[in-house]
């Protein structure tokens, strides 16, 4: 820890009237002080305002300004999915500033560095490597702190992401770095990070290796999804939570599955592109399911806790995204399939990865022939608003330039009603071990992670040992906020890692 860095950070936060919400408050927003809730009434959710940090949770209302009793979600019925099992989808687009839940990942990676004096917003640049959404969340929290946020993302990501970054970064020409390729080109992102890390003023917040990312989603997202399930169970006491599906990505959101398994015994399904079957077949390739990352296994992925892997084609996600957002597609779903019109109007809340997550849930339902008392749950990280510019390309590539009711029926029949259980694996212990070993080549050979640390992640005791850090961080956040309130407390309330049972080695990993 650098005491001077911490003093600089506290001073900056005091000047900018910034307070940090605890993870307990983000998990349960009823714990947020009433004064903060009152002040938020006059603050737009997309405003660069410190109090919007207290909106980084799943309970924002549909207009994103108020708060809901239950996390915003959709229940997908059999008329849409073709399976009896109910599928619940939490809506990431309700998060502040970026309309995507990845701002929670950015916050979760940032907090440990702030409270222990490893990041100085008056000096350092915050570098956010990403396949699309995480860097936007990172830039947003950087701007609140008044520091330079640098986004790294593949050049083939959607135009809407770059338009947003153009508006939010301090100097877009320098602070938006486009790496070669698309969704599956993660190594190129790591290479750029290594180049930037040569400058000590650049602090890399690598979501794929930051355990704060996994812990934030375990605590906050996992609890929110559990609340959705318990809310549904209040109407059906026989309802069980069978499985959770999530695109691999950085494995942060996937970590919510660990919480659901701990609390409810739910199984965990990793979702990837069938064009790039990394976990399924050690494969490679390009695809357009933006935001899910491929061709590597994230360091923070608890691979040995995985129950299924499902591959989804980007032809399916492209086609269904178009179906859900075109007037003729909506009319088909309402008039021919009997899907409630109010639900059809909400399907624009699904981006590519959200659709992939739903299709994976359908695969599980078909694989096990699940019934109406066996629920599946997942998340829609973002909505189709981030992909509007791609609609003409989808129309031409997937539908030959013409879309009508017949096109809608064909897309629905092929990609929803016709979901197959191919590109699907129910994992054995050998499967898990193979997938775990695949990470060696990225993290030990390429990124220089200590082999002992790499191996210790194989045991569930390692992951269980991380969980107490959430309460520890909350304790330190309270101390940090107290220093902001009272200059006399500066340098007095310093982090005590021993109280969290942390070794110096573990501290360095966080």
* Average pLDDT for 88-108: 97
Report the percent of the chain where pLDDT is more than 70: 94
- Which of the four pLDDT bands, split at 50, 70 and 90, describes residue 370? very high
- Which of the four pLDDT bands, split at 50, 70 and 90, describes residue 283? confident
- Which of the four pLDDT bands, split at 50, 70 and 90, describes residue 2? confident
The residue with tokens 């590109």 is 423
Give 122's Cβ-side CA count (13 Å radius): 14
Per the domain annotation, does 304 fall within a domain?
A: yes
Rounded Cα gap, residues 31 and 40, in angstroms: 15
Task: Give tens-digit pLDDT for 477-503.
Answer: 999 999 999 876 655 545 554 334 333
pTM of the model as a whole:
0.94
* Average pLDDT for 113-138: 92
Q: What is the pLDDT of residue 397?
A: 94
Q: What's the DSSP call for residue 20?
A: P
Residue 506 has pLDDT above 70, yes or no: no
Per the structure, how many domains does the chain have?
A: 1
Per the domain annotation, does 352 fall within a domain?
A: yes
Cα-flanking dihedrals φ and ψ of residue 440, to 5°? -55, -40
The residue with tokens 């687009």 is 93
Strand partners, 179: 154
Per the domain annotation, does 259 fall within a domain?
A: yes
Per the domain annotation, does 199 fall within a domain?
A: no
Asked whether 353 and 249 are in contact (CB, 8 A), the reply is yes
User: Which structural domain range is residue 229 located in?
Assistant: 85-96+214-426
Give the pair of three-digit tokens for residue 352.
């590519």
Give the pair of three-digit tokens for residue 478.
């309270």
Q: Which residue has the higher pLDDT, 130 or 44?
A: 44
Per the domain annotation, does 353 fall within a domain?
A: yes
Strand partners, 152: 129, 177
Per the domain annotation, does 62 fall within a domain?
A: no
Residue 282 has pLDDT above 90, yes or no: no
Residue 186 has pLDDT above 60, yes or no: yes
Cα-flanking dihedrals φ and ψ of residue 277, to 5°? -80, 70
Task: Give tens-digit pLDDT for 236-249.
Answer: 999 999 999 999 98
- Which of the four pLDDT bands, split at 50, 70 and 90, describes residue 176? very high
Give the Cα-Cα-Cα angle 69, 229, 241 (nearest 5 degrees). Answer: 175
Per the domain annotation, does 247 fall within a domain?
A: yes
Give me the numbers of helices (H) and strands (E) for the chain, helices first please.
24, 11
Residue 318 has pLDDT above 60, yes or no: yes
> Which of 55-69, 359-373, 434-448, 495-509 has the weakest average pLDDT?
495-509
Residue 291 has pLDDT above 80, yes or no: no
Per the domain annotation, does 418 fall within a domain?
A: yes
* Average pLDDT for 68-85: 98
Rounded Cα gap, residues 481 and 500, in angstroms: 19
Q: What is the CATH number of the domain that holds 329?
A: 3.40.50.1100
> Which of 208-217, 300-309, 370-379, 486-495 has the weakest average pLDDT?
486-495
In this structure, the strands spanning 308-312 and 424-426 are antiparallel
């Amino acid at each position: 820890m650098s005491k001077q860095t911490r003093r600089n950070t506290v001073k900056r936060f005091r000047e900018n009237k910034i307070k940090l919400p605890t993870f307990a408050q983000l998990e349960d927003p009823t714990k947020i002080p009433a004064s903060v809730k009152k002040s938020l009434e006059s603050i737009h959710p997309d405003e660069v305002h410190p109090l919007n940090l207290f909106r980084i949770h799943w309970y924002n209302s549909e207009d994103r300004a108020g708060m809901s009793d239950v996390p915003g979600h959709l229940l997908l019925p059999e008329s849409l999915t073709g399976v009896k099992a109910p599928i619940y989808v939490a809506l990431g687009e309700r998060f502040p500033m970026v309309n995507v839940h990845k701002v929670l990942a950015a916050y979760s990676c940032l907090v440990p560095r702030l409270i222990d004096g490893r990041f100085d917003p008056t000096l350092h640049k915050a570098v956010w490597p990403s396949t699309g959404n995480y860097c936007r969340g990172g830039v947003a929290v950087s701007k609140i702190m008044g520091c330079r946020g640098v986004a790294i993302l593949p050049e083939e990501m959607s135009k809407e992401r770059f338009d947003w970054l153009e508006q939010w970064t301090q100097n877009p020409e320098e602070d938006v770095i486009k790496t070669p390729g698309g969704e599956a080109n993660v190594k190129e992102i790591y290479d750029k990070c290594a180049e930037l890390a040569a400058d000590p003023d650049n602090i890399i917040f690598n979501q794929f290796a930051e355990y704060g990312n996994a812990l934030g989603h375990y605590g906050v997202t996992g609890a929110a999804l559990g609340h959705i399930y318990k809310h549904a169970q209040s109407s059906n006491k026989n309802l069980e939570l069978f499985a959770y599906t999530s695109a691999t990505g950085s494995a942060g959101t996937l970590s919510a599955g660990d919480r659901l398994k701990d609390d409810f015994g739910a199984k965990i399904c990793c979702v990837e592109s069938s064009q790039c079957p990394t976990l399924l077949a050690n494969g490679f390739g390009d695809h357009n399911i933006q935001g899910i990352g491929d061709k590597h296994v994230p360091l923070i992925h608890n691979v040995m806790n995985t129950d299924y892997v499902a591959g989804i084609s980007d032809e399916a996600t492209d086609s269904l995204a178009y179906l859900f957002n075109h007037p003729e597609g909506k009319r088909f779903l309402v008039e021919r399939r009997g899907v409630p019109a109010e639900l059809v109007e909400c399907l624009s809340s699904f981006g590519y990865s959200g659709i992939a997550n739903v299709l994976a849930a359908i695969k599980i339902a078909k694989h096990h022939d699940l019934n109406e008392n066996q629920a599946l749950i997942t998340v829609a990280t973002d909505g189709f608003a981030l992909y509007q510019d791609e609609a003409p390309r989808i129309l031409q590539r997937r539908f030959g330039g013409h879309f009508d009711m017949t096109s809608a029926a064909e897309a629905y029949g092929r990609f929803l009603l016709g979901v197959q259980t191919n590109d699907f694996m129910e994992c054995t212990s050998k499967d898990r071990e193979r997938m775990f070993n695949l990470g060696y080549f990225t993290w030990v050979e390429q990124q220089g992670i200590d082999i002992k640390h790499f191996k210790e992640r194989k045991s569930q005791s390692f992951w269980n040992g991380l969980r107490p850090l959430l309460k520890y961080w909350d304790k330190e956040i309270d101390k940090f906020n107290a220093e902001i309130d009272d200059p006399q407390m500066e340098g007095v309330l310093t982090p005590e890692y021993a109280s969290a049972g942390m070794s110096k080695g573990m501290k360095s990993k966080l």
